[in-house]
Chain A
Amino acid sequence: MSWLRRHTVQVIGLLVMAYILLPNLVVLAFSFNKPNGRLNITWQEFSFDAWLNPCDTPGICSSVGLSLKIGIIASLTATVLGTLVAFALGRHRFRGRAGTNVLIFMPMATPEVVMGSSLLTLFIALGVGTGQTTILIAHIMFCLSFVVVTVKARIASLDPRLEEAAADLYASPAQAFRRVTLPLVAPGIAAGALLAFSLSFDDYIITNFNASPSSVTFPMYIWGAAQRGVPVQVNVIGSVLFLAAVAFVGIGQLLAAGRQRARA
C-alpha cells in the first residue's frame, strides 16, 4: 500500500503510456500474423511472410512511394515558404501584418472537410484536373501554417540584441543571419519541417477530396483496403513508420544527452 503511494506518479504514467502505445503494439504484433482469410483480426500463427515481402500486395508500395514523395516535397516547400513568412511576421512591421497572422491561422482552425471540399470546388472551377499536383498544392497550403507558427515561436524567443551584437562584431546582415540567427532558429525550422512531413504523410480527408484514381496515397490505400480486409503488409509498413519515428526521437535524445555530458 505504501509502495503504491510512493510510486503513484510512476504507476499512472505507465498506465497512460500503455494506453497510448497499445494500438501501435497491436499493429506490430499482427504484422507477424498469418491470417486465414482476408481479415487480419484474430491471431493464427507466427510468420515473417509479410516482413519478407512487404510489396506483395498490389498497389501498396506505390502508394507509400507517392505519400513519401508528396510528404517530402510538401514539407520542404512549406518549410522554405513558412520560414520566410515567419521571419517577415516576427521581425518586421508592415501594413496587413495582423491580417496575415489571422490568415495563416485559418487553415489550422478550419475543419478538414471544409478545406478539402472547398479546394476541390476551386480546382473544378479553375478546370484543373485532380491528381498529384492538386494534392501537393493542398498539402503545402495546410503545412505552411504549422511551419509558420513553429518557426515564429522560435524567432520570438530570440533576443534581438544578438543580431545587434553580430552587427557590432563586423557581421553584415547576411553574415549575421547565417552565423547567428539561422543556427539559433534551426531547431524551430527542423521541428516545423518534421511536423509538416508527418501531417502531409498521414492526411486522408483533404487528400481524398483532391486526388484522382491514379494518385492513391498510403492513407487512401489503407482506407480502400479496409473495405475488403487490411493486408498484413499494411501492418508491416505501419510498424516500420512507428519504429522509425521512435528511433528518430531516441537518437535525438541520445545526441542531446551526449552534448550535455560533453559540456559538464
Chain B
Amino acid sequence: MTEHGSGDLRLSSVTKSFERFTAVDDISLTIPQGSFFALLGPSGCGKTTTLRMVAGLEQPTVGTIHIGDADITSLKPYQRNVNTVFQSYALFPHLNIIDNVAFGLRQRKDGDWKRKAQEALDLVELGHTAKKKPTQLSGGMQQRVALARALVNRPDVLLLDEPLGALDLKLRRQMQLELKRIQSEVGLTFIHVTHDQEEAMTMADTIAVMNGGRIEQLADPSTLYEKPASTFVANFLGQSNLLPAEVSAEVASVESGVVTVRTRDHDDIAVAAEHLPPGIRSVWVGVRPEKLRIGEAGRNRLRGVVTDASFTGVATQYLVRLPWGKELVVVQQNDGSGRLPVGENVTVSWDPGQEFILDQAQDADAGVEIDDD
C-alpha cells in the first residue's frame, strides 16, 4: 500500500480566482477511494467551484488535482473519468430515458451499452421508464435518472451538485437514504455538495465545511458536531451556546483532567483540560443546547430566568437569560417532566467534558444567520 490509495482524489493547494474575487482559496484535500464525502457550506463558499474543478468544468488558477497518481488538472471534462449529477439534472430533453442513461457508454463505444444502461435504470428503480422522455417524469424520477446516467459509467469519482435541492422535504429524506444505499452498493467515491448540514451529516463519512473559499474543518460528522474547530462550524452545524470565559492563573487548577475557567458573572466553570487549546486565556466555552439540563444534575451550574419556551414535539426549547444578559438555548426532551413557565428562575447545569472550547478572538456570530433556503 502506497501513501495514497490507487483511486484517491487529491487536491493540492488549489485556488480559483475570478476577475473580482477568489472563489476557492488554497485548499488541499485528500478524498479516499470509495468514501462518501460532503462539501458543506453556505452559498458562495466555493463548494460548487471546487466540484466544477474536479469535473473539469473550471480550471484551477493555481494548484493540481490528482486521481491516484494521474494528474488530471489540465484534462478536459470529457477526458476525465469523473461524472456529475447536476443540480438541475440536465437531462437531454430530445433523448428518451434509456438514451440519456446510455449517453456516456455510447460515447465511449461500449458495445454492451443497452444492458448496462438498463441495469443502471433498474438500480434506481426506473427500469419501466426507458422509452419515456425526461419531461414525462417527476422531479424525483428525473433526479434518479441523472444519477443512473452518471453511475452507469463507473467513474473514479461521482460528483453530486446539490442534487436534492429541488425536491420536497419528504422526497429528499427518501433520496438521501437511497443515495447512501446506492453508494455502498457500487462502492464508488461520491462527492456531495450541499448547504444542508443535516443532509451532509446523514449521508457523508467525511465532511469538509467550507467558508469564504477555505476549508474551516474537515472531519467526520460527529467530530464536527461535538468538537467544532471554529465558531463558524459550531454555529453552521446545529445550534451552539458560546459563553465567554477567562482562564486566569489563580483559578486554573488542574485537578483530575479538569480546568476551571471564570465567566463574566464570576461563576467558575469546570472544563476538560484536553479541550483547552494550549496558550489561550480568553476562550468561548461552547455547549450544545441538548447537553444543558434544567436543574442541578450537572456539576457546572448557572442561574437564570426562563424568557421563552417553545414546544417542538419531541422536545421543548427554552431560552434562559443569565444575569449579564446572555441567553442560553436549552433543549429538553419531553420525557414527562413537565414544562416550565416563562419567568421561572431556574438553574442550568452540565458536566465538564460536554463542552468544546474555542479561541475568543473568533467571531461568536460567524455562520449564524446563514440559513438554508
Give the interface of A toward B (CB within 8 A).
159, 161-162, 164-172, 175-176, 179-180, 183-184, 263
Interface centre among A162, A164, A169, A180 (most CB of B within 10 A): A169
Q: If the complex has contacts A168-B55, A168-B78, are A161 and B132 also in contact, measured as CB distance less than 8 A?
A: no
Sorted nearest first, the 9 A-B pairs with minimum C-beta distance are A169-B104, A165-B90, A161-B90, A170-B107, A167-B77, A170-B78, A168-B84, A169-B103, A183-B94
CA distance A159 to B86 in the complex (A): 12
In the complex the two chains form, is A161's CB within 8 Å of B107's CB?
no
Q: If the complex has contacts A168-B83, A169-B103, are A159 and B88 also in contact, measured as CB distance less than 8 A?
A: yes
A39 → B minimal CB distance (Å) = 53
In the complex the two chains form, is B103's CB within 8 Å of A166's CB?
yes
Give B65-94 as 1s and 0s: 1 = Cβ < 8 Å from A's Cβ atoms: 000000000001110001110101011111
Please name all residues of chain B whose beta carbon is closer than 8 Å to the beta carbon of A162 when the two chains form the complex: 90, 92-93
CA distance A155 to B149 in the complex (A): 24
In the complex the two chains form, is A161's CB within 8 Å of B86's CB?
yes
Given contacts A168-B82, A170-B107, A172-B78, 5 further A-B contacts (CB under 8 A): A162-B90, A164-B77, A167-B76, A169-B149, A183-B94
User: Interface majority SS on A: helix, strand, loop or mixed?
Assistant: helix
Interface centre among B82, B90, B107, B153 (most CB of A within 10 A): B90
B358 → A minimal CB distance (Å) = 40
B174 → A minimal CB distance (Å) = 24
Q: If the complex has contacts A170-B78, A170-B107, A175-B107, are A165 and B132 also in contact, measured as CB distance less than 8 A?
A: no
In the complex the two chains form, is A165's CB within 8 Å of B78's CB?
no
A180 → B minimal CB distance (Å) = 6
Please name all residues of chain B whose beta carbon is closer than 8 Å to the beta carbon of A166 when the two chains form the complex: 92, 103
A-B contact pairs, 18 of them (CB 8 A): A159-B88, A159-B90, A165-B84, A165-B92, A166-B92, A167-B77, A168-B78, A168-B83, A169-B78, A169-B103, A169-B149, A170-B104, A172-B76, A180-B92, A183-B94, A184-B92, A263-B132, A263-B136
B330 → A minimal CB distance (Å) = 45
In the complex the two chains form, is A165's CB within 8 Å of B86's CB?
yes
CA distance A263 to B137 in the complex (A): 11
By beta carbon, the residue of chain B nearest A162 is B90
B133 part of interface (Cβ distance < 8 Å): yes
In the complex the two chains form, is B57's CB within 8 Å of A171's CB?
no
B108 part of interface (Cβ distance < 8 Å): yes
Please name all residues of chain B whose beta carbon is closer than 8 Å to the beta carbon of A180 when the two chains form the complex: 92, 94
Contact partner of A171 (CB less than 8 A), chosen from B78, B84, B91, B149, is B78
A258 → B minimal CB distance (Å) = 14
B205 → A minimal CB distance (Å) = 24
By beta carbon, the residue of chain B nearest A182 is B94
B48 → A minimal CB distance (Å) = 12
Q: If the complex has contacts A159-B88, A161-B88, A162-B92, are A170 and B57 also in contact, measured as CB distance less than 8 A?
A: no
Please name all residues of chain B whose beta carbon is closer than 8 Å to the beta carbon of A170 when the two chains form the complex: 78, 104, 107-108, 153
In the complex the two chains form, is A164's CB within 8 Å of B90's CB?
yes
CA distance A10 to B90 in the complex (A): 41
In the complex the two chains form, is A171's CB within 8 Å of B107's CB?
yes
CA distance A159 to B142 in the complex (A): 16
Q: If the complex has contacts A164-B77, A169-B149, are A184 and B107 also in contact, measured as CB distance less than 8 A?
A: no
B343 → A minimal CB distance (Å) = 55
